[in-house]
């Protein structure tokens, strides 16, 4: 029996921020004096999406290791500015979905977004009251605690005394699929973020739905 649902945020509850991250990474590199094509920066970042800012910067500028610390510092400033925050728009139907689901299940959020921005967007969109736990995975460079390892998902399962088969993860990217599968939790992919239907199908997920607004009907079956 389903007891707890764990949501990603970017591309699931709100849209626009996935590209907002790339914009901030690219501008940080340019400000540091690195000339890099935007499309190339995006490709390199998405290849290791869901890791820490340091790891993503290292992937974006592999030929400039001496500038990684500076670019990370610039990125952390930019991603906390309106350049990033103003890219976020709530997915249509997200509030109604959370209102419905929170009456029957425990809800948590696990996101790679930094904790400052998570708090700001939860406040902006009036989401905090729906969630028992809201966890940022982007605060550590520890390889064992990156999002895809399932470290934070395991924490939620333990805190809630929920078995893997009693939980459900909802995401938009491969990193959420890896996170869920490593903890043997079923995962549903929404098509409002990174993955298209073909890509999601190749990942052998429990279900693919158009957006989070379709989740209550899918659960009701």
Topology (CATH) of 4-16+88-220: Rossmann fold (3.40.50)
Q: Which position has the token pair 């009907």?
A: 217
Amino acid 108: pLDDT: 98
Domain parsing of the chain, residue ranges: 4-16+88-220, 17-85
Instruction: Please check the confidence at residue 165 and state whether its pLDDT lies above 90.
Output: yes
The pLDDT tens digits for 102-143 are: 999 999 999 999 999 999 999 999 999 999 999 999 778 788
- The three-point CA angle 220-150-115 to 5° equals 90
Mean pLDDT on 183-202: 96
Q: Global pTM? A: 0.88
Least confident of 44-53, 59-68, 172-181, 190-199: 44-53
Give the pairing of strands 89-90 and 106-111.
Answer: unpaired
Q: Would you place residue 9 in the very low, low, confident or very high pLDDT band (cuts 50, 70, 90)?
A: very high
Q: Are 191 and 218 in contact (CB under 8 A)?
A: no
Instruction: Please check the confidence at residue 188 and state whether its pLDDT lies above 80.
Output: yes
Q: Give me the chain's average pLDDT, please.
A: 96
- The three-point CA angle 9-54-189 to 5° equals 25
Distances (CA, A) of 9 to 96, 99, 209: 16, 16, 16
The pLDDT tens digits for 16-71 are: 998 999 999 999 999 999 999 999 999 999 999 888 899 999 999 999 999 999 99
């Amino acid at each position: 029996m389903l007891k707890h649902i764990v949501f990603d945020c970017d591309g699931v509850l709100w849209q626009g921020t996935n590209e907002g991250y790339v914009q901030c990474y690219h501008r940080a590199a340019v400000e540091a004096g690195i000339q890099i094509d935007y499309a190339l920066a995006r490709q390199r970042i998405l290849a290791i999406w869901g890791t820490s800012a340091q790891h993503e910067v290292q992937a974006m500028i592999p030929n400039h290791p001496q500038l990684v610390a500076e670019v990370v510092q610039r990125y952390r400033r930019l991603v906390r500015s309106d350049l990033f925050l103003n890219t976020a728009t709530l997915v249509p139907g997200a509030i109604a979905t959370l209102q419905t689901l929170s009456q029957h299940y425990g809800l948590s959020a696990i996101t790679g977004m930094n904790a400052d921005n998570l708090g700001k967007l939860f406040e902006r969109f009036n989401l905090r009251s729906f969630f028992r736990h809201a966890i940022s995975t982007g605060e550590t460079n520890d390889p064992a605690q990156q999002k895809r390892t399932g470290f934070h998902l395991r924490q939620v399962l333990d805190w809630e005394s929920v078995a893997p088969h009693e939980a459900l993860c909802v995401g938009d990217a491969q990193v959420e699929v890896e996170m869920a599968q490593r903890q043997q939790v079923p995962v549903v992919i929404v098509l409002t973020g990174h993955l298209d239907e073909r890509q999601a199908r190749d990942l052998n997920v429990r279900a693919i739905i158009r957006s989070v607004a379709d989740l209550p009907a899918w659960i009701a079956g």
